Amino acid sequence: MLNQCLDTTAMDHYFQEACCGLKGYDACTGDEDPKYNGTCPINSATGLPYDVPSSYISTEGCQSDFSTVTLADGIFRCTALPTCSLTCEGPDKDLLDSVTKQCGCMMEWGFNAGFFQITIAILVFSLLNGARSKLNLILLERER
């Protein structure tokens, strides 16, 4: 299905134009499209450019026949995974603490500012309408 949906020849061509001269790719010929210059996808784990897409699609895993696969075959078994040891110390708790306090303060400020802004707007609206009503009553009294 991947072979039917993907134009690997065109994709390989784009990779060659973007990565020409880098390890695993032919040297640049000079007639490459400049819009691909510097857009070569680099594997951050190895520091090398990825291979052309057709090399990945031609692997054994992509050539499997999945027409007989059922949903029951897709069950994930956690017990089959090997245990791993953590290699990092985790998040910086002091940084998280200070950022959380800042976020809480900003959120509290935002709620208070919004509340007072709405309250003052309603108060000003009420006072203006009250004054307008009072003025209308005074003008009606004078007309009589």
Contact present, 23 and 29 (Cβ < 8 Å): no
Task: Determine the Cα–Cα distance for residues 35 and 139; give it in Å rounded to an integer.
Answer: 75
pTM tops 0.85, yes or no: no
**Residue 82's pLDDT is what?**
75
Q: How far is CA 116 from CA 16, 67, 104, 106, in A?
A: 61, 63, 18, 15
For residue 72, the Cα-to-chain-centroid distance in whole angstroms is 32
Task: Determine the Cα–Cα distance for residues 123 and 97; give it in Å rounded to an integer.
Answer: 39
**pLDDT over threshold 90, residue 127:** yes
The pLDDT confidence band at residue 40, using thresholds 50, 70 and 90, is: confident
